[in-house]
């Protein structure tokens, strides 16, 4: 999430809050361009908050990506009457980050208890590992259903954290072409991941 890290210092001014509110309502309606804009607007603050809670850079990037994927999938749950979009998004990020810390702590405690016993892994630990593995495998399968060009663009933007402009520069393509790839790729990913829900 190199691009997100670079934006983590952005302020959360009134303009940002209002823009996020408008964009999130559009995202709830399935607007891909609005999601692109919202991603650029909130990925920095999301990563910054997660990084402060989780601390580990690699896990922070993973959690931030999970939050942004969740944002795309659950934007319709946002209720503007209950607060700003930015607050809602950062609340999602904080909850996901805290869950990751608790999960890691609980896993460590389980491992210690199991080490004291006979060494057999606890059922909860195995179940969590299997579930996490299945989620990763499902995302991999969905990514593999994209065209090579879509997969390359999506991977650079959502896993490596590049902005759309940076993706266009790295691939030596016009920005419009990259945006089209991303929009089409996100549509196919959403359909595929929707089958996993």
Output the CA–CA distances (angstroms, integers) from residue 136 to 97, 133, 156, in the order listed: 18, 5, 17
| Residue 42 pLDDT | 92
d(CA 151, CA 153): 6
| Residue 154 pLDDT | 77
Look at residues 15, 88, 96 and name the one whose alpha carbon lies nearest to residue 60: 96
| Residue 197 pLDDT | 44
Angle between helices 57-74 and 32-54 (to 10 degrees): 140
| Residue 182 pLDDT | 81
| Residue 36 pLDDT | 93
pTM of structure = 0.52
Torsion sign over Cα 149, 151, 154, 158: negative
Classify 83 in phi/psi space as left (phi over 0), alpha (psi -120 to 50) or beta: left
DSSP string, 10-38: ----HHHHHHHHHHHHHHHTT-HHHHHHH
Q: Point out the residues of the chain with pLDDT beneath 50.
A: 1-12, 197
3-state class of 1 per DSSP? coil
| Residue 10 pLDDT | 42
| Residue 75 pLDDT | 94
């Amino acid at each position: 999430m190199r691009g997100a890290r670079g934006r983590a210092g952005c302020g959360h001014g009134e303009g940002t809050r209002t823009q996020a509110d408008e964009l999130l309502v559009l995202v709830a309606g399935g607007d891909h361009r609005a999601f692109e804009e919202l991603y650029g607007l909130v990925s920095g603050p999301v990563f910054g908050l997660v990084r402060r809670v989780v601390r580990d850079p690699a896990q922070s990037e993973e959690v931030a990506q999970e939050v942004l994927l969740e944002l795309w999938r659950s934007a319709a749950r946002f209720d503007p009457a209950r607060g700003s979009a930015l607050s809602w998004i950062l609340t999602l990020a904080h909850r996901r980050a805290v869950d990751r810390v608790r999960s890691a702590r609980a896993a460590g405690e389980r491992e210690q208890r199991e080490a004291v016993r006979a060494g057999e892994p606890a059922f909860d630990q195995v179940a969590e590992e299997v579930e996490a593995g299945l989620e990763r495998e499902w995302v991999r399968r969905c990514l593999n259903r994209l065209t090579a060009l879509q997969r390359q663009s999506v991977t650079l933007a959502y896993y490596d954290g590049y902005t759309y402009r940076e993706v266009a520069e790295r691939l030596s393509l016009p920005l419009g072409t990259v945006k089209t790839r991303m929009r089409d790729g996100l549509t196919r990913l959403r359909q595929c991941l929707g089958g996993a829900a």
